Chains A and B, each alone.
Chain A
Amino acid sequence: AQSVTQLDSHVSVSEGTPVLLRCNYSSSYSPSLFWYVQHPNKGLQLLLKYTSAATLVKGINGFEAEFKKSETSFHLTKPSAHMSDAAEYFCVVSDGGTASKLTFGTGTRLQVTL
């Protein structure tokens, strides 16, 4: 069985300051991990993915995440927040089966203030 825990349901940062969204996972396999972003009333967009290559993964819009097996973590970071980053972020784990079934965290809402 696999699971994902997003440690913060809501994070608020000031524009220009760093962003840290925390995610811990549990998986029986060597997992693949993803971060998706969702703006209000929209579908989900892939930010980045880890698939057992480099442990530091760079994504779109300046986001990156580091896979730490010893800590079972996959935290999402960005050096400087922008107003357009305000959205819901989901950490996701895949079981690697043929149909790549995904297990979603409950999401972290990022608020960016002036």
Chain B
Amino acid sequence: DGGITQSPKYLFRKEGQNVTLSCEQNLNHDAMYWYRQDPGQGLRLIYYSQIVNDFQKGDIAEGYSVSREKKESFPLTVTSAQKNPTAFYLCASSKTGTGAFYEQYFGPGTRLTVT
């Protein structure tokens, strides 16, 4: 059964702690993405990766870090430098290709609450 898994579904942390969100895909997609969703703001791109060992900043990368050591995995670390980390985080993946328009497939999301 192909798809994207994110764990955990709910995550609680104290302010000042780093936290890592997991994202795994078995769709054999080259590209993976992390989004943040806040009420009334749609989705905003944090980081994306088109290939293993390479990634680019999205629109709101400050306070976040990622790694892409394996094609299947793209973990996101929310650092203590992120001013407002409480949000719903969504991971996605897609095929890649020059000039192509590939849809993204989304995981179920992780809701992070920092107090």
Q: Which residues of A contact B (CB under 8 A)?
A: 9, 32, 34, 36, 41-46, 49, 51, 90, 94, 96, 98-102, 104-107
The answer to whether A51 and B101 touch (CB under 8 A), given A42-B109, A98-B50, A100-B31, is yes
Interface range on chain B (Cβ under 8 Å from partner): 20 to 34
Cβ distance A41 to chain B, nearest Cβ, rounded Å: 7
B50 and A99 within 8 A (CB): yes
A98 in complex: contacting residue of B88, B97, B104, B107, CB < 8 Å: B97
Q: What are 11 pairs between A and B in contact, CB < 8 Å? A: A42-B108, A42-B109, A43-B4, A98-B50, A99-B48, A99-B56, A99-B94, A99-B96, A100-B94, A100-B101, A102-B104
User: With A and B bound together, what is the CA distance between A58 and B101 in angstroms?
Assistant: 17
The answer to whether A100 and B41 touch (CB under 8 A), given A41-B111, A43-B90, A44-B90, is no
Given A44-B90, A46-B105, A104-B43, 19 new contacts (CB under 8 A): A32-B101, A36-B106, A41-B88, A41-B109, A42-B109, A43-B107, A44-B106, A45-B106, A46-B103, A90-B42, A90-B43, A98-B96, A99-B94, A102-B43, A102-B45, A104-B42, A104-B44, A106-B40, A107-B40
User: With A and B bound together, what is the CA distance between A49 and B107 in angstroms?
Assistant: 19
The secondary structure that dominates the A interface is loop
User: With A and B bound together, what is the CA distance between A105 and B41 in angstroms?
Assistant: 8
User: With A and B bound together, what is the CA distance between A44 and B37 in angstroms?
Assistant: 11
Instruction: Report which residue of B45, B58, B100, B111 has the largest number of chain A beta carbons within 10 angstroms of its beta carbon.
Output: B100
A residues within 8 A CB of B48?
Answer: 99, 101
User: With A and B bound together, what is the CA distance between A22 and B50 in angstroms?
Assistant: 32
User: With A and B bound together, what is the CA distance between A85 and B88 in angstroms?
Assistant: 22
The answer to whether A100 and B100 touch (CB under 8 A), given A43-B90, A43-B108, A44-B90, is yes
Cβ distance B46 to chain A, nearest Cβ, rounded Å: 12
B residues within 8 A CB of A106?
Answer: 40-42
